[in-house]
Amino acid sequence: MTASRKYHITTFGCQMNKADSERMAGVLEDMGLQWSEDPNGADVILYNTCTIRDNAEQKVYSYLGKQAKRKHQQPDLTLIVAGCVAQQEGEQLLRRVPELDLVMGPQHANRLGDLLEQVFEGNQVVATEAIHIVEDITKPRRDSKVTAWVNVIYGCNERCTYCVVPSVRGVEQSRTPEAIRAEMEVLGRQGYKEVTLLGQNIDAYGRDLPGSTPEGRNKHTLTDLLYFVHDVPGIDLIRFATSHPRYFTERLIRACHELPKVCEHFHIPFQSGDNEVLKAMARGYTQEKYRRIIAKIREYMPDASISADAIVGFPGETEAQFENTLKLVEDIGFDQLNTAAYSPRPGTPAALWENQVSEEAKRDRLQRLNRLVEVKAAERTQRYANRIEEVLVEDRNPKNPSQVMGRTRGNRLTFFEGNIEELKGAIVKVKVSEVRAFSLTGELLDVPALV
**Which residues of this protein are in contact with ligand SF4, per CB under 6 A?**
156, 158, 160, 163, 165-166, 200-201, 244
Site for ligand SAH, residues 53 to 112, rule: CB under 6 A = 53
Residue 13 interaction partner, one of ligand F3S, ligand SF4, ligand SAH, none, beta carbon < 5-8 Å per kind: ligand F3S
State the DSSP string of 154-209.
ES-----TT--HHHHH-S-EEPPHHHHHHHHHHHHHHT--EEEEE-TTGGGTTTTS
For residues 206 and 406, which CB has a smaller minimum distance to ligand SF4 in the complex?
Answer: 206
What distance lies between CA 368 and its chain's CA centroid?
25
When asked if residue 406 is in the footprint of ligand SAH (CB under 6 A), the reply is no
Which residues pair with residue 203 across a beta bridge? Answer: none
Closer CB to ligand SAH, 166 or 418, in the complex: 166
Stretches 169-177, 212-220, 224-232, 336-344: which one binds ligand SAH (CB under 6 A)?
Answer: 336-344
345 binds, among ligand SF4, ligand SAH, ligand F3S, none (CB under 5 to 8 A by kind): ligand SAH
What Cα–Cα distance (Å) separates residue 22 from each residue in 144, 236, 325? 10, 22, 36
Q: Write the CB contacts of 434 (distance below 8 Å, at least 6 apart in sequence).
A: 440, 441, 442
Q: How far is the CB of 252 from ligand SF4 (least distance, A)?
A: 16
C-alpha 451/C-alpha 445 separation (Å) is: 17
Instruction: Tell me: does residue 309 bind ligand SAH (CB under 6 A).
Output: yes
Judged by CB under 6 A, the stretch of 105-113, 222-230, 340-348, 360-368 that binds ligand SAH is 340-348
Question: Cβ 87 to ligand SF4, closest distance in Å?
Answer: 14
Q: How far is the CB of 18 from ligand F3S (least distance, A)?
A: 9
Do 428 and 445 contact (CB within 8 A), yes or no? yes
Q: Is 38 exposed, middle or buried (0-12, 13-18, 19+ CB in 10 A)?
A: exposed
Residues interacting with ligand F3S, by CB under 6 A? 13-14, 16-17, 50-52, 83-84, 164-165, 168-169
Q: Which is nearer to ligand SF4, 116 or 156 (CB)?
A: 156
Dist CA 153 CA 158 (whole Å): 13
**Measured between alpha carbons, how far is 223 from 252 in angstroms, rounded to an integer?**
5
Cα atoms in the Cβ-side hemisphere of radius 13 Å centred on 419? 6
Q: Which partner from the list ligand SF4, ligand SAH, ligand F3S, none does 17 bind, CB cut-off 5 to 8 Å by kind?
A: ligand F3S
User: Which residues touch 276 (CB under 8 Å, ≥6 apart)?
Assistant: 316, 321
163 binds ligand SAH (CB under 6 A): yes
Of the candidate residues 149, 248, 322, 342, the single one contacting ligand SAH (CB under 6 A)? 342
Check residue 52 for interaction with ligand SAH (CB under 6 A): yes
d(CA 285, CA 323): 18
Residue 220 touches ligand SAH, criterion: CB under 6 A: no
First CA to last CA across the chain, in angstroms?
Answer: 40
Does residue 152 interact with ligand SAH by CB under 6 A? no
Which of 237, 254, 244, 231 is CA-nearest to residue 199? 244
Q: Kindly report the CA angle at 81 between 75 and 86, in degrees rounded to 5? A: 140
Yes or no: say if 354 and 396 are a contact pair by the CB < 8 Å rule: no
**Which of 140, 166, 269, 273 touches ligand SAH (CB under 6 A)?**
269
Q: How far is the CB of 156 from ligand SF4 (least distance, A)?
A: 3
Query: Which lies closer to ligand SF4 via its Cβ, residue 192 or residue 314?
Result: 314
Out of ligand SAH, ligand SF4, ligand F3S, none, which partner does residue 166 contact, by CB within 5 to 8 A per kind?
ligand SF4
Pick between residue 157 and residue 439 the one whose CB is nearest to ligand SF4: 157
3-state class (DSSP) for residue 147: strand
Using DSSP bridges, classify how beta strands 78-82 and 44-49 pair: parallel, antiparallel or unpaired. parallel
**Rounded Cα gap, residues 71 and 189, in angstroms:** 42
Chain positions 178 to 217 lying near ligand SAH, rule: CB under 6 A, are: 200-201
Q: Closest CB to ligand F3S among 21 and 356?
A: 21
- C-beta of 166 vs 425, nearer to ligand SF4: 166
Is residue 311 close enough to count as binding ligand SAH by CB under 6 A?
A: yes
- What residues line the site for ligand SAH (CB under 6 A)? 52-53, 162-163, 165, 200-201, 242, 244, 269, 271, 309, 311, 340, 342-343, 345
